[in-house]
Amino acid sequence: MNLRLAHVALLAAATMLAGCNASLEDIAPKAERQLPAKVVQTMKAKGMSTTSPIMVRLFKEEAVLEVWKQKDNGRFDLVKTYEICKWSGKLGPKFTEGDRQAPEGFYAVGPHQMNPQSSYHLSFNIGFPNAYDRAHGRSGQHLMVHGGCSSSGCYSMTDEQVEEIYAFARDAFKGGQQAFQLQAYPFRMTAQNMARYKSDPNYEFWTMLKEGYDHFEITKLPPKVDVCERRYVFNQYTADGRPFSPTGACPAATQPEALQTAYKTYKSTFDVAFTSALDSSAFSKPAPSITGVKEAALVADWSRKRARGERVSQEPPNFEQSGVMVSTRPPSERPAAAAVAYQPAPQPVPAPMPAPVAAAPVAEPAPIAVAPAPQPAEPPSRLGRLMTLFGN
């Protein structure tokens, strides 16, 4: 009887609050909702606590977001996979403000980047531009993972999905994680996919990302990420702790010997599969990709005209792989020669990895122990965190 009375009292209190213009959000804020019991059980079965560190991976072509979590042994394991509701643009990196491209690369997300008051239910800022992006003069702001299933440069989830992803991050921060790593890729970087995109203008950039991808596949630890000579470097350690300059020369650095050995074996296996995939005729058609800075500038100009209310095509303009520009004019205004020839600008990319070499197949190496990457710096001040509440 006492329990029933207590339940009635709680309902009455909720009703009174509603009568005072309160909402369910006031009673149970979405940013504080707990992970489902089934997810918690999965974590416990894998040797994880609810507050252990996380890592996120995004794959555009597969439209997948993965949440990984640290186990008791220090390595990370996959907890849950979500289907991305919408992501913006094409395969390839983000170049400039307004190009509608969802970023690709390695980013860090801290507590100050979380937005519980987002216009898109809940969100967190990816951290674009990072050191690599800035070294290449790339621009853009407010690039998010958010709810609402609507995107113009972001990775958009359903509201229910983003509540869970937000809860994973919130709980990890409560456990002491200063920032979690977010890895954004064009596709799963298998030998078959890399062979499919061998002729893509973004291939060298993707080859660079693949080294970080491979390091995680081998170690099941988020790689230590730095930038020097305008390129990503992974799990490199300087003897004197000297910092890496994104635009300066790479300092003398070493890599754990066990990782070097495992990576060499891993890459030998990959090279055999890559060569075999190149010889195969069973390719599925590659997805559209951005050709470089010239196409990005074209889309950005289209975005500005659209924002001003000018008459433009419904879809953003683009360069075909052959270097032909698709006209931005509405069909009724297009001249007989609807396309104008352009040569795409060369994309600023780091030097490619060595060409694949055939080797005898070997089994995929088991994960090895590598020291976890140092935690990022402390988050900004309370004022900085308050300002981010209005960022999306």
Active-site positions read 146, 154
3-state secondary structure of 348: coil
- Helix then strand count (H, E) for the chain reads 10, 14
- Rounded Cα distance between 254 and 232, Å, is 15
Q: Compute the CA torsion angle 382, 159, 128, 77 (nearest 10 deg).
A: 100
3-state secondary structure of 184: strand
**Crossing angle of helices 257-279/203-219, nearest 10°?**
130
- Rounded Cα distance between 182 and 54, Å, is 9
The closest of 163, 157, 89, 154 to 127, measured between CA atoms, is 154
Both tokens assigned to 115 = 């937005």
Determine how many CB atoms are found less than 10 A away from the CB of residue 161.
Answer: 21
User: Do 147 and 138 contact (CB within 8 A), yes or no?
Assistant: no
Cβ-Cβ contacts under 8 Å for 289 (sequence gap 6 or more): 90, 91, 92, 186, 197, 200, 201, 202
3-state secondary structure of 148: coil
Buried/exposed 290-310: b ≥16 CB within 10 Å, e otherwise: bbbbbbbebbbbbbeebeeee
- Rounded Cα distance between 147 and 158, Å, is 5
Q: Is 279 exposed, middle or buried (0-12, 13-18, 19+ CB in 10 A)?
A: exposed
Q: Which amino acid is at 355?
A: A
3-state secondary structure of 391: coil
Buried/exposed 78-105: b ≥16 CB within 10 Å, e otherwise: ebbebebbbbbbbbbbbbbebbbbbbbb
How distant is the alpha carbon of residue 207 from its chain centre? Answer: 16
